[in-house]
Amino acid sequence: MAFSDDLKMFTVKVQARNQAVFTGVIAETLNSIVFGSPLTGSPGQPIADIDGGNLRASWQAGLGGPDSTPGYGSPRWESNTVAVIGTMCVYAKSNEDGIARPGGGAYRLLASTGGRWSVRNTINGFQRIVNQVTRDLTGAE
């Protein structure tokens, strides 16, 4: 086997691993926001019996370009955007920070059962998500 064949195989393996890391990170990030995560400290979205589960179910992840992202009008796609995780739920922001917004309510009661600062905690702990997903794929401890 020629050196060039080894290089191609290595490149494919790296690409495959990069792709696996990418999709794993997206999945774990969405999981952190919606269900909470010990990696990030995110509490997750409110449990279903508070608002019928609407907010929790509203979060989606869109991969690829703007046209493939479900449910979003004009997301801020910049040149380096590869995925979008978001919600169209009108009271998501208020549930995140506890500040009342027109049409959204304060939802402080919701926040007390989970949901406050889920997004911010996930952002803060994003590198931990990447590290953990990478570790999982490499089998490192």
Partner 1 sequence: MALDSDLATLALRTRALSLTVCTTGSATLAATATGYTRLSGSFITDGFRAGMDVVSSGFSTSANNMTGVVTGVTALTLTVSPYVVTTNADGSITVARPATVVEASASGRTIAAKLPSRRAWELVQFTPATGIPYVTEQYVPGGGAVMLTAPYAGGLAEELGMYVLTWYGLSGSGTSAIRKSIDALKALFAPGTTLTVGTDRLTVRGAVGPSAGSIITQDGGFAACALTISWRAETTNAIAA
Compute the least distance from the CB of residue 105 to partner 1, in Å.
Answer: 11
Integer CA distances (angstroms), 116 to 87, 97, 130, 141, in order: 15, 6, 23, 31
Residues that bind partner 1 (CB under 8 A): 37-42, 97-102, 116-117, 120-121, 123-125, 127-128
Nearer to partner 1, 28 or 69 (CB): 28
Compute the least distance from the CB of residue 27 to partner 1, in Å.
Answer: 18
How many residues in total does the chain contain?
141
Nearer to partner 1, 39 or 69 (CB): 39
| Contacts with 37 (C-beta within 8 Å, 6 or more apart), sequence order | 28, 31, 44, 122, 125, 129
Nearer to partner 1, 68 or 80 (CB): 80
Nearer to partner 1, 67 or 141 (CB): 141
10's tokens: 């290595």
Integer CA distances (angstroms), 2 to 6, 9, 23, 73, in order: 7, 11, 32, 50
Compute the least distance from the CB of residue 39 to partner 1, in Å.
Answer: 6
Cα–Cα distance for residue pair 71/86, rounded to 1 Å? 9
Compute the least distance from the CB of residue 138 to partner 1, in Å.
Answer: 17
